[in-house]
Amino acid sequence: MRDFEYGVEPGSTLDVRRCVACDTEFLFPRPDAADLVDFYPSDYHAFNDDHGRLATRLVHLRAKRRAHQYEELLGGRKGSLFDVGTGDCRHFDELREELDLHCAGVELQPEVAAAGRARGYDVTVGTLEEMDLTGHEGRYDIVSMNHVLEHVIEPDVVVDRARRLLRPGGHLLGQLPTNSSWEAKAFGRRWGGYHYPRHLQMFSRAGLERLLRHGGFTDVQLHTAPHIQTAISLQNTLNAWGWDPPKRYGKVPGYGALLGVVAPFELVAYAADRGGIIDFHAVAPR
């Protein structure tokens, strides 16, 4: 495998293996927690605000969509959200523009967590796997983990601890890439969902549903999310063919043009529910 976006080279060779029971893929041997920080360069896209005019607009529209979804789940009342992998919490600001929401979370990178706290939010430094849950258990209406489960060493532990954070009947919501998609099949090892070495597992739909149900959740729903990840897969392919200009936040100059190229494919894949990114929703037991 190769990190097409940032050029990170792990200290040891990591292979991609596939589970014969559910087709989920995963990196092996498993890296430890000390390795993970080095996988994320300082210009990693999730740590920065400036993504260009078009991408910024798309991110803002996604935040409004999520805010409306949360509002429906809360029935219009004030609610509480715990986010796993908060980044610098700019998405909390966008959510709170739309609804009355108490926000907290956990973030791996200390300087990024500090930026979230500077915005006024309760952000713990570290991982959900190791976080002290005292004062947090049974407190939240919603736990969100957008593009997180693919990054963690022990996804089963993360799901179990997310359930402990929720009130009875609370909602676990998230988004991640799936190899059960046309995009993954079309691009192979250049598929953007590999995001090597930061994605430690690449879930199939069957594997993700199995994980959530084993974690005690019910009413598991999976469906294609509106997204533009195929532009990364196309960028990776162009890189592999020799076009590799300097990137900013992992994106080549003219990345907006790639978004336009892949838009028809994304629309068809979304309509057929075979896109490369899926939303998941599951309910904690009452």
| Tens of pLDDT, residues 163-222 | 999 999 999 999 999 999 999 999 999 999 999 999 999 999 999 999 999 999 999 999
CA distance 66 to 22: 29
| Tens of pLDDT, residues 133-162 | 999 999 999 999 999 999 999 999 999 999
Query: Among residues 198, 186, 221, 205, which one has the least CA distance to residue 277?
Result: 205
In a domain, residue 4? The reply is: no
In a domain, residue 250? The reply is: yes
Which strand (E) or helix (H) includes residue 103?
strand 101-107
What are 153's two structure tokens? 């060493």
In a domain, residue 64? The reply is: yes
In a domain, residue 189? The reply is: yes
Residue 48 pLDDT grade (very low, low, confident, very high; cuts 50, 70, 90): low
pLDDT at position 70 over 70: yes
In a domain, residue 204? The reply is: yes
| Cα separation values, 222 from 84, 110, 175, 275, 279, Å | 19, 32, 9, 11, 6
Q: Integer distance in angstroms from the first to the last C-alpha of the chain? A: 43
In a domain, residue 10? The reply is: no
Q: Looking at residue 189, which CATH number applies to its domain? A: 3.40.50.150
| Tens of pLDDT, residues 232-277 | 999 999 999 999 999 999 999 989 899 999 999 999 999 999 999 9
Q: Which burial class, exposed, middle or buried, applies to 127 when counting CB atoms under 10 A from its CB (0-12, 13-18, 19+)?
A: buried
Question: Residue 269's domain spans which residues?
Answer: 15-283
User: How many independent structural domains does the chain possess?
Assistant: 1
pLDDT at residue 73, rounded to an integer:
94
In a domain, residue 205? The reply is: yes
Q: What is the pTM of this model?
A: 0.92
